Amino acid sequence: MIEQNSLYRDLDGLDSQCWHYVLESDAKPIAYARLIPPQPDHMVVHLGRLAISESHRGKGLGRAIMLDLLAECDNLYPRLDIAISAQAHLRPFYRSLGFECVGEIYDDGGVDHIDMVKTAVRT
């Protein structure tokens, strides 16, 4: 929150509906992400707020967390697309997980972002 100068806890009012992923070390949170279930008017799963403490970056936690979240999405919401709002410089990371860019880069609180979607396998 401080790094990105975003001091608001729950702007979209969805935190109470979300599945929260918290990774701790020595009883302190070192990583966080949330899974937003599909909303009645938009049947897409959203992942967001992936954050890793600076001291734990570069150790593969982001990939591990995303793989866990993607597996959870597949378990809970098979055949639904998964959407993210990614920091633009992380496009290669998210592409490596199967996400594709949709739309153009936009400013979100002073940080360039782009919407990305991982299309579900539908059988």
18-37 pLDDT per residue, tens: 788 998 989 999 999 999 99
Number of domains in the chain: 1
pLDDT in tens, 49-76: 899 999 999 999 999 999 999 999 999 9
For 92, the domain range is 15-118
Domain membership flag for residue 76: yes
Helices (DSSP H) in 19-60: which residue ranges?
A: none
Give dist(CA 96, CA 86) in Å, integer: 13
Domain membership flag for residue 9: no
pTM of the model: 0.84
Domain membership flag for residue 8: no
pLDDT in tens, 5-16: 444 454 555 666
Give dist(CA 25, CA 101) in Å, integer: 33
Q: For 65, phi and psi rounded to 5 degrees? A: -65, -45
Q: What CATH number corresponds to the domain at position 27?
A: 3.40.630.30
The encoded tokens of residue 109 equal 């609180």
